[in-house]
Amino acid sequence: MSDFKENKKQLDKELEQFIMQLNQLLPQYQTLLKKKDLNQEELKKLGEIEHYLIGVNSKIMEIKGKLEQDLFGQSMDIYYKLKVQATQGDPSAKLKLEKMRDAFAEALKSGDLVNYN
């Protein structure tokens, strides 16, 4: 569990730094984008920032997709394995299955999950 806490702490720190850096870069980009007559240096800087932001956006989308796929896929895999164990009479699996159902129900109510049915 301490590995999780350390990983979480490190990831939170890196995400905060990423957001801070992005908040510094975006205004520069927007300023250059709004400027009517760019000199050669400004035009080059605008192109570099734009190219970089497109790459960042692509990486963010990749991370988002992986998180959604892994979180949902893993949850469903665990859910159905627990369901099989629970139907075979495993009391521990029944308890875990109930907790998962409660968590899913709460997520649906709060809007964290969307039911597409």
What is the tens place of the pLDDT at every residue in 15-74?
Answer: 999 999 999 999 999 999 999 999 999 999 999 999 999 999 999 999 988 887 777 777
Return the closest-CA partner of residue 63 out of 71, 75, 74, 73.
71
pLDDT at 69: 77
Q: How far apart are CA 107 and CA 103, in angstroms?
A: 6
Q: How remote is the C-alpha of 51 from its chain's centroid?
A: 22
Residue 117 has pLDDT above 50, yes or no: no
At 109, the pLDDT band (50, 70, 90 cuts) reads confident
Cα 66 to Cα 34, 100, 105, distances in angstroms: 34, 21, 23
**Cβ–Cβ under 8 Å, residues 100 and 79:** yes
